[in-house]
Amino acid sequence: MIRIETGTPGVVLTLPAWLHPDVRPMPTDEERVRFVLALARRNIEEGGGPFAAAIFDERDGLVAAGANLVVPGGSSLLHAEVVAILAAQGRTGRYALRAGGRHQIVTSCDPCAMCLGAIHWAGLARLVTAAFSEDARAVGFDEGPVDDASFGYLERRGMTLRRGVLRKEGADLLEAYAAAGGVIYNG
């Protein structure tokens, strides 16, 4: 649940204890995507949506992990990418994660329109995804106005993209979630 307090400005986000993984180095995109897909599976088991994301620093490894907390958190803003960005910003103490172009976000699925905006504004240098937007749409999620032009905009702004890493595994996860009766909260 979202809690609003008066006083010192800031955001307080309490993450599930399991979302603080102690992990080994993951130097390849495939290893990072497997990690994020494992987080998404765990999130489903814990009552969340079928999406996860993580932010990595190219020199220091995992900075923060995020999972879709829309349903358990009671907020449409708590997409995995936004949660990961908030956690990374909290951990680094910076609202802009530009830091010499070292930070990247790895996601279980192409980001929706809101998350693409958040990724842009966070100043991430690279985006790596598993499932495509059409895989999420195929099970009923409404990704908003996301198309090739959306990703082209990020590239023109200097972001490097690699989409579809382990796409089948990402799409299979979405299909299994929907088949099991998972909540399609924005369809």
**Residues 31-49: what's their mean pLDDT?**
96
Measure the CA–CA gap between 178 and 50, rounded to whole angstroms.
9
Measure the CA–CA gap between 143 and 78, rounded to whole angstroms.
14
**Residues 146-157: what's their mean pLDDT?**
94
Write down the H helix ranges in 9-147. Answer: 29-45, 70-73, 80-92, 113-122, 133-138
- Output the six-digit token pair for 170: 């990402």
Q: What is the pTM of this model?
A: 0.93
Model confidence at 73: pLDDT above 80: yes
- Output the six-digit token pair for 93: 């103490």
Q: Would strands 126-131 and 103-109 be described as parallel, antiparallel, or unpaired?
A: parallel
The percentage of residues in the chain with a pLDDT greater than 70, rounded to a whole number, is 95
* Residue 81 annotated to the active site: yes
Query: Which letter does DSSP use for residue 17 in this model?
Result: G
* pLDDT at residue 125 in the model: 94
Catalytic hit among 81, 134, 155, 169: 81
Model confidence at 1: pLDDT above 60: no
* pLDDT at residue 155 in the model: 96
Q: Which CATH superfamily is domain 26-171 in?
A: Cytidine Deaminase, domain 2 (3.40.140.10)
Kindly report, residue by residue over 119-135, the tens digit of the pLDDT: 999 999 999 999 999 99
Residue in the structure block whose two tokens are 């690279």: 126
Kindly report, residue by residue over 4-23, the tens digit of the pLDDT: 676 777 777 888 888 877 77
Lowest mean pLDDT among 1-5, 57-61, 155-159: 1-5
Residues pairing with 52 in the sheet: 67
* pLDDT at residue 34 in the model: 97
**Residues 56-84: what's their mean pLDDT?**
93
